[in-house]
Amino acid sequence: MESMADVAAPLATANQIAKYEAVIGLEVHVQLGTKTKIFCACPNQFGDAPNTNVCPVCLGMPGALPVLNRQAVEYAIQAALALNCEVRRKSVFARKNYFYPDLPKGYQISQYDQPLAEHGWVEVEVEGQPPKRIGITRIHMEDDAGKNIHEGFKDSDRYSYVDLNRTGSPLVEIVSEPEMRSSDEAFAYLSELKLALQFAGVSSCDMEKGHLRCDANVSVRPRGQAEFGTKVEIKNLNSFRFLKQAIDFEISRQVGVAESGGKIVQETRLYDPVLGETLGMRSKEEAHDYRYFPEPDLVPLLISDEWLARVKSAMPEMPALRRKRFAADYGLRPYDAAVLTGSRALADFYDEAAKTSGDPRLTANWTIGDLQGLLKGAGKEIEDSPVSAARLGELVAMVANGELTGKLAKDVLAKMFETGESAVSIVEREGLKAISDTGVLEKIAAQVVEANPKQAEQYRSGKTSVIQFFVGQVMKATRGQANPAAATEALKKLLG
Amino acid sequence: MKITEQEVRYVAALANLELSEPETARMAHELDEILTYMDKLNELDTGGVEPMAQVLFPAGETATLREDEPGATLSNQAALANAPLSGAGQFKVPKIIER
């Protein structure tokens, strides 16, 4: 539904937008990867037959009482630590009251004035700009609602269908400070947040399955103005692309309204990916009075020093730190460091392979290039790689110390991928070991030079690039086994 | 009066209640009495007392957490047994217009 604010104001031009600054904050809901729901023992599972993972608690039956899931708390603490938050030793659950068919209790159990964690931050980097910290206001725990299905049934014109399997799934809501200034920053923030939570292992963060949902608060103000403009909440941002598109559209819409003398209305808008526009929702303002009060059925959540210390000590290295370490300790280029921290499994794999090989940069090339290529071809993830990290490290070590030529190593890796064998046993069996023996190479070089007098003459008369031809000939004669550096040296000695 | 009839109508609307005019007047009166009683409680000095919504025991950690182990669920049939309307294994409600 179009609201009053949409009337007639044209979208802003680039020149008009340049006069304004956008102020963006994100509210991100993340479904925690527990086996069971937050307040009952129903499976926390996606894709089952409707209304089968339900019980009196999540159906909101009278008299049913919630009992908090310890693992959900632990994941929430891990999420808080992954995002540099302070965990409150005491947090309190509260009821957020509203009526909707996907919410059988008539209220959501959330946290209000005493959330689990506060004062966090995420460092983001947008290309061409220095790194920037985006503050995280708070993280609180809450239960998810069910699913309303409005279409697809023959009486869908008259009825909505309700599946309550998701009701009671454990969520954390992560609220950022309004510190982003562009859709690129919002994109970078959400990417880094997702990566950190995946590294912490608290959620798969699969946006397609709704494990990660994002709402954006967007306002604009003339550059230089201190106070914020009127903010608009955009919902339905269920992909990174939509997040960026919706924010860009909204900035342009708001500047357009302001520039044509209109007033931006505080409202909630839905992003329509087909139109590429945000649309005002028909809503009554009074719908936002949630009448929060402390949840009488749950005691406050107390987290002991010991518990917090235990969780803290088990936290894995976060992606931002890992990127920095890969660059500093392993000498990787920022791009390679970013690729290799694209998932925790990949980062762990690379780390182990690099340690085994002793040549981190060469290992990075083999991991990103050849191995990822083979995995992609086989439709496999790094977790299912038939070549273990240690085995890849062994192969790279053989290349690094000249035992195996790069060219043959590619074939060996392909065989390793196929059979799961080690590089050493394939190389031994097939006799692929590089020939570095000077005596042997000199003999072959001599034969090659003798067989190609014309090229030898060219080399001697100054056309030194012909050396590549001779190296190629030596390679051919040795079925690719000659150590290229040693072969080049032998040839130069003969020709020089 | 501590509460107006307008406020009663607002709260009733939030609670999806439809009150007639006489009911609204009666509710305003009764709520007013309850709020007056709250004033009586407010005579006590609770300045040094932490607000409490639930009974708490002095402990470092919440003692009533549940382990993350799946338990019994209701069958789909049982889940829908009390639903006024159902179909295709789901609850059916009058068409929702997205807000």
SS3 A134: strand
CB pairs < 8 Å spanning A and B: 149
Which amino acid is residue A347, in one-letter code? A
Over residues A332-356, mean pLDDT = 93
Q: Which of B69, B71, B88 sits opposite A153 (nearest CB)?
A: B88
Range list of β-strands (E), A77-231: 86-87, 90-91, 93-97, 107-111, 117-124, 132-143, 147-149, 159-163, 170-176, 212-222
C-alpha to C-alpha distances, B1 to A314, A461, B12, B23, B30, nearest whole angstrom: 58, 111, 18, 16, 11
Which tops the pLDDT comparison, A118 or A461?
A: A118
Chain A contacts of B89, Cβ < 8 Å? Answer: 49-52, 163
Q: How confident is the model at residue B50 (pLDDT cuts 50, 70, 90)?
A: confident
Nearest CA in chain B to A297: B54
The pLDDT of residue A7 is 54
Q: Which of A52, A283, A307 sits opposite B61 (nearest CB)?
A: A307
Among A254, A233, A124, A234, smallest CA distance to A185 is for: A124
Contact: A52, B65; criterion CB under 8 Å: no
The CATH fold assigned to A438-495 is Arc Repressor Mutant, subunit A (1.10.10)
Identify whether the C-beta of residue A398 lies closer than 8 Å to the C-beta of residue A439. no
User: 10 Å Cβ neighbour count for B32?
Assistant: 15
Place of tokens 């509710």: B27
C-alpha to C-alpha distances, A359 to A161, A352, A403, A450, B29, nearest whole angstrom: 58, 11, 14, 38, 82
Q: Hey, where are the domains in chain A?
A: 4-302, 317-430, 438-495
Q: Which of A40, A100, A160 to mutate to test the interface with B (most CBs of B within 10 A)?
A: A160
In this structure, of A29-33, A88-92, A489-493, B57-61, the range with the lowest mean pLDDT score is B57-61
Domain holding B35, by residue range, is 1-45
Contact: A161, B76; criterion CB under 8 Å: no
CATH number of the domain to which B39 belongs: 1.10.20.60
User: 10 Å Cβ neighbour count for A410?
Assistant: 17
The pLDDT of residue A1 is 41
**Is residue B79 included in any domain, yes or no?**
no
- pLDDT tens-digit profile of A196-224? 999 999 999 998 888 999 999 999 999 99
> Which residues, including other chains, have CB under 8 Å from residue A211's CB and lie 6 or more apart?
A30, A31, A203, A204, A205
The pLDDT of residue A2 is 42
Nearest CA in chain A to B82: A61
Q: Which of A161, A300, A305 sits opposite B90 (nearest CB)?
A: A161
Q: Which of B16, B55, B57, B73 to mutate to test the interface with A (most CBs of A within 10 A)?
A: B73
Q: Which of B85, B97, B98 to mutate to test the interface with A (most CBs of A within 10 A)?
A: B98
Question: How many domains in chain B?
Answer: 1
How far B60 CA sits from the closest chain A CA (Å)? 5
Q: Which of B16, B66, B80 sits opposite A69 (nearest CB)?
A: B66
Identify whether the C-beta of residue A441 lies closer than 8 Å to the C-beta of residue A475. no
Contact: A282, B96; criterion CB under 8 Å: no
In the predicted structure, residue A6 carries a pLDDT above the cut 70: no
Chain A contacts of B55, Cβ < 8 Å? Answer: 299
Chain B contacts of A72, Cβ < 8 Å? Answer: 68
Cα(A96)–Cα(A103) distance, integer angstroms: 11
How far A24 CA sits from the closest chain B CA (Å)? 23
Nearest CA in chain B to A298: B54
**Is residue B98 included in any domain, yes or no?**
no
Cα maximum dimension of chain A: 98
Q: How confident is the model at residue B99 (pLDDT cuts 50, 70, 90)?
A: very low
The pLDDT of residue A145 is 96
Chain B contacts of A302, Cβ < 8 Å? Answer: 59-62
Q: How long, in residues, is chain B?
A: 99
Nearest CA in chain B to A75: B68
Q: Tell whether ipTM is more than 0.85.
A: yes
